[in-house]
Amino acid sequence: MRLLSQSLNVLARWTNWLLVKSKLLPEDPVSQFNLDPSLPTFYVTRLNSHADLAALDRMCKQLGLPSPMQMQTIGSTDIPRFIAMQNPTPLFSKTAKPSNALQLSKDIFHALKANPTAKAQILPVSVFWGRDPGKEKPGLATLLGHSLTPSWLRKSFVLLFSGRDNLVRFSAPIAVEQLMNDKADVEELPQKLLRVARVHFRRQQLAATGPKLPSREALFNSILAAPNIKKAIAEEAKAKGLSHHEARLNAQELLDEIAANYSDAMVRVADRVLTWLWNKLYNGIEVKNADEVRALADKGHEIIYVPCHRSHMDYLLLTYVIYHQGLVPPHIAAGVNLNFFPAGVFLDALGLSLYVGHLQVISCIPRYLKSTSASSLLRATQSSFIQRVAAAAQEDYYRQKQVCWP
């Protein structure tokens, strides 16, 4: 069995060398997290995958960290360095086998307890293949690619179509000594470690890809079914002498024009186009405070970006930078004047909501918010919250004296 695993690792290394192009985040995790390559090191990942292991091993070699494919010795105990939370789903089954992560965690803590002078660093590592969030309504692309625990066949398609968009993200090491000091019972430590890791990887997934994309038809129907929106449609029909069906169709056309049609494939195309464009226009892009933004996203915060807006390049550049920081590109409230071919289709796929300028829509937004859980957002906007955020951002912008465009 071990010989088979080693053979698959060799095959995964060759496949990684041929098909995979990985991006590392942060750029220098060793210095940022004060990692010590001489310490016993373990890597916790979400999925037990030879492709993920090969991508991680390649990054570790570049950073001078111990290889995750080798065993780690603590005292007289040999423990695998690679700890996966979940096993892949078998090809002809819907249920994956239980992971050995719990047993490996127990081995680590028992070995540390038996060797009080020994120290260890446990590094959570997220491995992403593309940034497709998936869809609530499955389709062909979903069946071939997107899955949290893909079978070997699905993983083959993932490598083939998303191998050039691999992201390996290291996180701060888990405070092993603090865990052992807080918990006197060593038997409870593995469960706590795995609970923390599950929450961490769930937040990392959400920060990198965002939630699953809803069905546009179901989304529109849910909005049009809101009581206050129904009332607005009835008032529109009465004011303009339209039938209820015609007024509803008008509302649906507005929704279709406004709602972004986010496409991960289009985002990847835009990434390559914009990379070429920035290299032609600028000598370089300097990004500040990216770690703070990633930390907020990892904690589950909803983030509102308030950039300076001296040209349309601003939000494209902001989206590009955010994407390269391993975060999901933000949805952008844009003017309806951008809805022209081919820019409208392109920007729509990048996540722009084209509503500014639709007076009918603006008048209906408060009605819809009142009928949803977003009433707190409505109260915030009514209390000039957005204006205060914008004023604070502008003040900070001028204080730092950073000019976006010369």
Nearest to 296 by CA among 324, 331, 258, 325: 325
pLDDT at 137 over 70: no
What pLDDT score was predicted for residue 333? Answer: 74
Query: d(Cα 204, Cα 206) in Å, to the nearest integer?
Result: 5
Nearest to 48 by CA among 104, 86, 80: 86
Query: d(Cα 345, Cα 98) in Å, to the nearest integer?
Result: 45
Strand order across the 41-47 sheet? 22-25, 166-170, 121-129, 41-47, 82-86
Lowest mean pLDDT among 168-177, 245-254, 281-290, 350-359: 350-359
405 in any annotated domain: no
Mean pLDDT of 91-116: 87
CB 74 within 8 A of CB 112: yes
What pLDDT score was predicted for residue 297? Answer: 85
Which helix (DSSP H) or strand (DSSP E) does residue 326 occupy? none
Tokens in use for 266? 């289009």
More reliable by pLDDT, 54 or 94: 54
What pLDDT score was predicted for residue 120? Answer: 92
Q: Is 47 helix (H, G, I), strand (E, B) or coil?
A: strand
138 and 237 part of one domain = no
What pLDDT score was predicted for residue 139? Answer: 58
Range of the domain at 299: 216-400
What pLDDT score was predicted for residue 406? Answer: 36
For the segment 169-194, what is each residue's pLDDT rounded down to a tens digit? 999 998 888 777 776 577 788 888 89
What pLDDT score was predicted for residue 405? Answer: 39
What pLDDT score was predicted for residue 29? Answer: 94
Q: Is 123 helix (H, G, I), strand (E, B) or coil?
A: strand
pLDDT at 342 over 80: no
CB 248 within 8 A of CB 351: no
189 and 232 part of one domain = no
Q: Please report which confidence band the pLDDT of residue 373 belongs to, taking 50, 70 and 90 as the band edges.
A: very low
pLDDT at 28 over 60: yes
* DSSP one-letter code for 188: G
Domain end position, chosen among 209, 226, 256: 209
Q: Is 25 helix (H, G, I), strand (E, B) or coil?
A: strand
Domain end position, chosen among 156, 190, 209: 209
149 in any annotated domain: yes
More reliable by pLDDT, 308 or 357: 308
* DSSP one-letter code for 372: S
What pLDDT score was predicted for residue 231? Answer: 83
Q: Please report which confidence band the pLDDT of residue 356 belongs to, taking 50, 70 and 90 as the band edges.
A: very low
261 and 205 part of one domain = no
Total domains present in the chain? 2
For the segment 388-399, what is each residue's pLDDT rounded down to a tens digit? 545 555 555 455
Residue 8 Cα distances to 11, 16, 46, 164, angstroms: 5, 12, 19, 21
CB 56 within 8 A of CB 13: no
160 and 236 part of one domain = no
73 and 189 part of one domain = yes
Mean pLDDT of 55-61: 95
Domain end position, chosen among 159, 183, 209: 209
Q: Please report which confidence band the pLDDT of residue 128 belongs to, taking 50, 70 and 90 as the band edges.
A: very high
Handedness of CA 177, 179, 183, 188 (dihedral sign): negative
Q: Please report which confidence band the pLDDT of residue 403 belongs to, taking 50, 70 and 90 as the band edges.
A: very low
163 and 288 part of one domain = no
| Percent over 90 (pLDDT), the chain | 23
pTM: 0.79
For the segment 213-265, what is each residue's pLDDT rounded down to a tens digit? 888 888 888 888 888 888 888 888 888 888 888 888 888 887 777 777 788 88
Query: d(Cα 332, Cα 309) in Å, to the nearest integer?
Result: 12
What pLDDT score was predicted for residue 247? Answer: 85
Q: Is 86 helix (H, G, I), strand (E, B) or coil?
A: strand
What pLDDT score was predicted for residue 22? Answer: 93
What is the rounded average pLDDT for all residues in the chain?
Answer: 79
182 and 311 part of one domain = no
Query: d(Cα 396, Cα 384) in Å, to the nearest integer?
Result: 18
